[in-house]
Amino acid sequence: MRRAPPSTTVFLDRDGVINKRPDVGKYVTSARQFHFIPGSVDAIRLLNEAGARVIVVTNQRGVALGVMTMDQLQEVHDKMLAVLRAAGARLDAVYCCPHAKDSCDCRKPGIGLFLQAKAQFPDIVFKESYVVGDSERDMEAGRRLGARLVRIGPATAPDEASAPSLIEAVTEHVQALRPKSAN
C-alpha cells in the first residue's frame, strides 16, 4: 500500500465513530464503559497503513457537568490507545473539549481543537483533510475548515459522503488517501 502525502490528516470524532455512543444524556465515564465499535480498530490501522495522520477531536462535556474528571477521561483515552497499539494501530493525537456549551472556541462546531492540531502539526492542510463524525457539530466544524466530510450514518447535506461505520468509511474513502501512480 502506498503512503499518503504527509499533509493528509483524518480527524475522527470519538463517541459514535470509534466507540459505542452512550445513551442521550449519558457519558463514557470509565475505561470499562468504553467499547470499540466493530471494525473501528481495523479502520484506524488501515488509515495508518495508508500513511494518513489520524487525530481524534472529541467534545467531552461530562467533565464540565461534573459526571467525570479529567483523570477519568484520560483513563478512557489510555485504554483506547492501548487497545489500538496492541492491534498495530495508533492515533497521532487526541484533543478533547471538556467545557460547557457556549463557553469556549474548542467545542465543536467550533474549530479550536483543529487549530490546536495545526499548531502541533503545522503541515496539516485542512482542505486536504477529512473530518469523520456522526453529528451535525462534526460536519459543521469540517465545513468551517473547508475539509472533506464523511458522516457516519446517512448524509444530511450534499457536501457529505456517508457510510454506516468507520470501517466502511475508510474502505470506501481510503483510496482517496493514496497518491495517484505516475502511470
Instruction: For 48-95, give the DSSP string.
Output: HHTT-EEEEEEE-THHHHTSS-HHHHHHHHHHHHHHHHHTT---SEEE
How many domains are contained in the chain? 1
Domain contains 1: no
pLDDT in tens, 21-77: 999 889 999 999 999 999 999 999 999 999 999 999 999 999 999 999 999 999 999
Domain contains 68: yes
**Domain at 136, CATH number:** 3.40.50.1000
Point out the catalytic residue in the list 13, 105, 138, 159. 13
Domain contains 37: yes
Dist. CA 183–CA 180, nearest whole Å: 8
Q: Is 23 a catalytic residue?
A: no
- The residue range of the domain holding 42 is 9-177
Domain contains 119: yes
pLDDT surpasses 90 at 118: yes
Summarize the confidence of residues 83-104 as an average pLDDT: 97
pLDDT surpasses 70 at 5: no
Domain contains 109: yes
Domain contains 52: yes
Q: Is 159 a catalytic residue?
A: no
pLDDT at 182: 34
pLDDT surpasses 60 at 171: yes
Domain contains 173: yes
Domain contains 4: no
